[in-house]
A and B are shown apart, each in its own frame.
Chain A
């Protein structure tokens, strides 16, 4: 039954994926399938392999073992152009060496849709303008990318992957450098974007509370081989996050609002993290 639904429904599937960094095993035989309509937050401490996992899922690097399937076909068997029309990746940072207008930089992500001599058509220009508009960046369209602030640059990069029009988005720290207002704006845009059929988002993020509020699912990496995947409230729990981040966290509630916050100092001392039993 699982197999039949794999074929019927577009999905991204990690099959016993193992990731290593030097001698360390970041992720050990991870198997999971990501379905449309889901917004995944990939969380974990620094160096836990969030970036490595996202670029492996995007097909930019080979896992040490296992493989990744997209719509039932191994990533190695996808050709570059159809793959780029199917999934988009926003890396953590893109180097800007030369002047270029924001619109042109965003429009570069139309590359998989170009034909002939590779000149953009009006459709591509419209897609780029629409993506800027969705993120409220229309005023920046004519600006030089070299003149943007870190946060502006980050939102322009998000607009770029949106205008790629791929139903699977893999975003590496899309909220970095953004102030709270823009973090929420971006997450709301992604939430809205995912409502259309067949769309999935995976993003890595350090803000567990934003993740709990906007993601439907969470993937928590401990960087020592284990990964916890499931609905966001089942994964980003005080118990699991305390174990993974090596610092006790507590969940506080006020009305409908919840927040995971670091425990007060006295609690920390009584709740020794090092005694926590083996991972699940």
Chain B
């Protein structure tokens, strides 16, 4: 059975630096388009020219100074931080998902599978019940995410460490899943105990919301850190996918690599959860869509997941702002509405 190379499914076509760069360029362009749309559209629609002017004010004393100031204010203080936060969170979630799918060698792993979001939410809800300031809520969410990470790491450290030939990942996955279930119960308890006037804010936090996000910088900084930590080891991750024994025999120090991947994925998930709450399905669906389209070469996939995840959440947030404008939906509702059918389709289309 000789197949013509041109008829190969995209996933099986050879990956090269050139092809990867082309994929990244297309995704980066898509990100730019969605970013411009996010800045221009909303309850006050702006022309592209005024968006550009707002971003780079060339002539301060233009004839329409007053309206330009208002447009500039909307773009710079409301829409730009929100769009950037959406991009950063989406990028972090998609990278975290892609990394955990490699680490656990399980295509259904996602950023929240190890209980990161549950830990963050539990701690954040406690802070909200106590009536803490927003920054304290964020700080406790981040602390909760890392408590959960350390808990799973402490319980399943032997699974992560063991460089034995046999595959021990399911225990790590199950430990995370059980910890996540524990957090889920705690969240339900907290919601039952919460005073009515705080309940709405708590629910918004839980669904994943970019509203009033004035501080995209922590998420963007986390994104840079994660990319720097992960992109250079992408070739090693390709090898790790073939099992610990193969990776070790090929000269990969498996234990440090697993720890690095685990910490990078955890940092990414924690930063995303802290910035925007639980935005479901992005970490699961985006890496899979990219795999279906371009294959599973980690050298291409990880940067592509960052761009693709950013586009997805930025786009979903734009939709969340527009559908019932001037009111807004939490972005997590949109990603889940899109994510559930996409995920089911992906799951059920594979014939065994």
Q: Are B250 and A109 in contact (CB under 8 A)?
A: yes
A61-118 contacts to B (CB < 8 Å): 61, 79-81, 83-84, 88-89, 91-101, 103-105, 108-109, 111-112, 114, 117-118
A100 neighbours in B (Cβ, 8 Å)? 11-12, 295-296
Q: Are A95 and B167 in contact (CB under 8 A)?
A: yes
Give chain A nearest CB distance to B104 CB in angstroms.
9
A60 within 8 A of B: yes
Interface stretch of the complex, out of B83-91, B134-142, B173-181, B233-241: B233-241
Q: Are A104 and B250 in contact (CB under 8 A)?
A: no
Q: How far is the CA of A111 from the CA of B11 in the complex (A)?
A: 21
Give chain B nearest CB distance to A113 CB in angstroms.
10
A224 within 8 A of B: no
Give chain B nearest CB distance to A161 CB in angstroms.
9
Q: State which of A104, A109, A111, A144 has its C-beta within 8 Å of the C-beta of B297.
A: A104
Q: Are B3 and A112 in contact (CB under 8 A)?
A: no
A192 within 8 A of B: no
Among B5, B105, B241, B245, chain A packs the most CB atoms within 10 A around the CB of B245
Give chain B nearest CB distance to A138 CB in angstroms.
10
Q: Are B3 and A142 in contact (CB under 8 A)?
A: yes
A143 neighbours in B (Cβ, 8 Å)? 12
B269-301 contacts to A (CB < 8 Å): 291, 295-297, 299
CB-CB nearest in chain B for A78: B251
Q: Are B249 and A89 in contact (CB under 8 A)?
A: yes
Q: Are A55 and B165 in contact (CB under 8 A)?
A: yes
B167 neighbours in A (Cβ, 8 Å)? 95
Q: How far is the CA of A111 from the CA of B252 in the complex (A)?
A: 9
With known contacts A80-B251, A95-B105, A117-B299, A101–B12 Cβ distance under 8 A: yes
Interface majority SS on B: helix, strand, loop or mixed?
Answer: loop
With known contacts A99-B11, A103-B14, A144-B12, A81–B251 Cβ distance under 8 A: yes
Q: Are A51 and B249 in contact (CB under 8 A)?
A: no
CB-CB nearest in chain B for A143: B12
Q: How far is the CA of A88 from the CA of B291 in the complex (A)?
A: 29
B232 neighbours in A (Cβ, 8 Å)? 117
B1 within 8 A of A: yes
B242 within 8 A of A: yes
Per-residue CB contact flags for chain B residues 12-32 toward chain A (1 = under 8 Å, else 0) read 111111000000000000000
Q: Are B249 and A58 in contact (CB under 8 A)?
A: yes
B188 within 8 A of A: no
Q: Are A164 and B245 in contact (CB under 8 A)?
A: no
CB-CB nearest in chain A for B291: A98
Q: State which of A79, A88, A97, A164 has its C-beta within 8 Å of the C-beta of B106.
A: A97
Q: Are A164 and B250 in contact (CB under 8 A)?
A: yes
Q: Are A60 and B165 in contact (CB under 8 A)?
A: yes
Per-residue CB contact flags for chain B residues 94-137 toward chain A (1 = under 8 Å, else 0) read 00000000000111000000000000000000000000000000
Q: How far is the CA of A86 from the CA of B164 in the complex (A)?
A: 21
Q: Are A84 and B242 in contact (CB under 8 A)?
A: no
Q: How far is the CA of A55 from the CA of B166 in the complex (A)?
A: 12
A103 neighbours in B (Cβ, 8 Å)? 14
Give chain B nearest CB distance to A260 CB in angstroms.
30
B163 within 8 A of A: yes
Per-residue CB contact flags for chain A residues 113-149 toward chain B (1 = under 8 Å, else 0) read 0100111000001000000000000010011100000
Q: How far is the CA of A81 from the CA of B253 in the complex (A)?
A: 10
Q: Are B296 and A99 in contact (CB under 8 A)?
A: yes
Q: How far is the CA of A214 from the CA of B9 in the complex (A)?
A: 40
A139 neighbours in B (Cβ, 8 Å)? 1-2
Give chain B nearest CB distance to A111 CB in angstroms.
5
Q: How far is the CA of A199 from the CA of B260 in the complex (A)?
A: 36
With known contacts A61-B164, A80-B253, A97-B105, A91–B245 Cβ distance under 8 A: yes
Among A60, A96, A112, chain B packs the most CB atoms within 10 A around the CB of A60
Q: State which of A91, A98, A125 has its C-beta within 8 Å of the C-beta of B249.
A: A91
CB-CB nearest in chain B for A82: B251
Q: Are B235 and A60 in contact (CB under 8 A)?
A: no
CB-CB nearest in chain B for A112: B251
Give chain B nearest CB distance to A79 CB in angstroms.
8
A154-194 contacts to B (CB < 8 Å): 164
B8 within 8 A of A: yes
Q: How far is the CA of A80 from the CA of B296 in the complex (A)?
A: 25
Q: Are A94 and B250 in contact (CB under 8 A)?
A: no
Q: Are B14 and A108 in contact (CB under 8 A)?
A: no
Q: How far is the CA of A61 from the CA of B241 in the complex (A)?
A: 20
With known contacts A80-B252, A108-B250, A112-B251, A55–B245 Cβ distance under 8 A: yes
Give chain A nearest CB distance to B103 CB in angstroms.
11
With known contacts A91-B246, A101-B12, A118–B252 Cβ distance under 8 A: no
B106 neighbours in A (Cβ, 8 Å)? 97
Q: How far is the CA of A101 from the CA of B2 in the complex (A)?
A: 14
4 tightest A-B contacts by CB?
A118-B235, A80-B251, A84-B251, A89-B249
Q: What are 19 A-B contacts with C-beta separation under 8 Å?
A: A51-B165, A55-B245, A81-B251, A89-B245, A93-B243, A97-B241, A98-B291, A100-B296, A105-B242, A108-B239, A109-B250, A111-B236, A111-B239, A117-B17, A118-B235, A119-B17, A142-B3, A142-B8, A144-B9
8 more contacts with CB within 8 A, not counting A104-B12, A104-B14, are A79-B251, A84-B249, A93-B243, A97-B106, A100-B296, A118-B235, A119-B16, A144-B12
Q: Which residues of B contact A (CB under 8 A)?
A: 1-3, 5, 8-9, 11-17, 105-107, 163-165, 167, 232, 234-236, 238-239, 241-243, 245-246, 248-253, 291, 295-297, 299
